Amino acid sequence: MAGIQMKNIVKQYGDGFPAVNDVSIDVEEGEFLILVGPSGCGKSTLLRMIVGLEDITGGDMVIGGKKVNDLAPRERNLSMVFQNYALYPHLTVYENIAFPLRLAGKPESEIDEKVREASKTLELDEHLERKPGNLSGGQRQRVAMGRAIVRDAEAFLFDEPLSNLDAKLRGQMRTEISRLQKRLGITTVYVTHDQTEAMTLGDRVAVLKRGVLQQHATPRELYENPANLFVAGFIGSPPMNFLPANVKGNQVELPFGTVTIPEDKAAKAQGKGLLIAGIRPDHFEDADVVDKDKVTDEATFKAKVDVVEWLGNEAYAYIPFEAPTEVREQLAQLEKDLDGESLRTQLVVSLDGASRVSEGDEATIWVDARKIHLFDPATGENLT
């Protein structure tokens, strides 16, 4: 098992903008790293450069302390699990798992021991004589992982391994991959465009946009302290709300009213003109159900609720607003970067299931002002 260091990695195809642009990421031994971002951000290209399926235009790829830029894939001793699993349809589960060991000329006794051990770990031991065509999607996935496990590889690499599965199976497999990775303690790099997979699986997550690393941090850090508008909008569901904001002293003027923010936050946003405030749906609440001590005029505003979706333990309230032209362009660009998410011309507020707010109400909404982020509309940088 080995750590992986990507040092100023560049990939240039033709003369367009680089598919991967000066990316540096350290993956520690035993760590589960997620590469995430919208389609075309360069995550698969980066993975393919780790495994050696793609040449590196610039920078160094170091695996287990050794520079591997010029090593062929088989010399890197990594195990890759592809989206389509790449199983041999004419071979049994047993032979599919045994394949890399046979290729390496291992003795029959060792092959048998390893295949049985892996298939037990993956709960495939009852299906060893079946062919891939007779397996469920999840079982096929596990066979592909079995083949990766038996090789004693330095690291596992996954390229969107769950994207062909239905939602339920995807959830199950996610848990299974996580459990297995922890048990084996093997360094893992996993590519996905799904932020839920990224947040639930990764020890750390690297968010990419157009070949450029935006932030590399733990899921909690990404959620609580996104580096910029892009990461803030990409991580979290429903997504963070973005609102035009004017900061005066420690008062923030939002389309619905003015709230008071902590002074240290306000200090970082002085004199910058119109900003974009980012507030997660979870950081609002119906003032009637929130702790009474928290409900002050400085932290509440009145708004007309357009639609309420009640889900049992929580409800989403939708509140339309108009964004002034100064920030509209920036928000429209953000929507494009985020791969066509719907335009945010409404505030989404997550309310406790106990809330009695209903459609058409003029509700008093509390906002957790400590959790407000303020972004520079020109650079997208999180100022707070």
Provide the binding-site residues for ligand ATP, judged by CB under 6 A: 13, 19, 37, 39-45, 193
Of 17 and 88, nearer to ligand ATP (C-beta) is 17
Residue 272 CA to residue 266 CA, distance in Å, equals 11
- Residue where the block lists tokens 């003109």: 273
Q: Least CB distance from residue 37 to ligand ATP, whole Å?
A: 6
Of 205 and 365, nearer to ligand ATP (C-beta) is 205
Q: Least CB distance from residue 24 to ligand ATP, whole Å?
A: 17
Helix or strand or coil: residue 214?
strand
Q: Least CB distance from residue 170 to ligand ATP, whole Å?
A: 16
Beta bridge partners of 381: 228
Residue 7 CA to residue 319 CA, distance in Å, equals 45
Of 43 and 344, nearer to ligand ATP (C-beta) is 43
Of 45 and 355, nearer to ligand ATP (C-beta) is 45
First to last CA, the chain: 39
Of 53 and 184, nearer to ligand ATP (C-beta) is 53
Q: With CA atoms as reference, report the closest residue to 60 among 102, 21, 24.
A: 24
Q: Least CB distance from residue 202 to ligand ATP, whole Å?
A: 16
Of 96 and 215, nearer to ligand ATP (C-beta) is 215
Q: With CA atoms as reference, report the closest residue to 4 among 53, 61, 75, 78.
A: 61
Residue 4 CA to residue 286 CA, distance in Å, equals 47
Of 13 and 82, nearer to ligand ATP (C-beta) is 13
Q: Least CB distance from residue 262 to ligand ATP, whole Å?
A: 37
Pairing of strands 284-286, 362-367: antiparallel
- From residue 362, how far is each of 292, 304, 306, 356, 357 by CA, in Å? 19, 4, 10, 12, 9
286 is written with which tokens? Answer: 């119906």
Distance of CA 343 to the CA centre of its chain: 21
Q: Least CB distance from residue 141 to ligand ATP, whole Å?
A: 18
Q: Least CB distance from residue 160 to ligand ATP, whole Å?
A: 7
Q: Least CB distance from residue 2 to ligand ATP, whole Å?
A: 23
Residue 291 CA to residue 273 CA, distance in Å, equals 33
Residue 174 CA to residue 161 CA, distance in Å, equals 10
Of 15 and 362, nearer to ligand ATP (C-beta) is 15
Residue 233 CA to residue 339 CA, distance in Å, equals 11
Of 194 and 298, nearer to ligand ATP (C-beta) is 194
Torsion of CA 123, 129, 133, 137, to 10 degrees: 0
Q: Least CB distance from residue 374 to ligand ATP, whole Å?
A: 29
Spatial contact of 9 and 38, defined as CB atoms under 8 Å apart: no
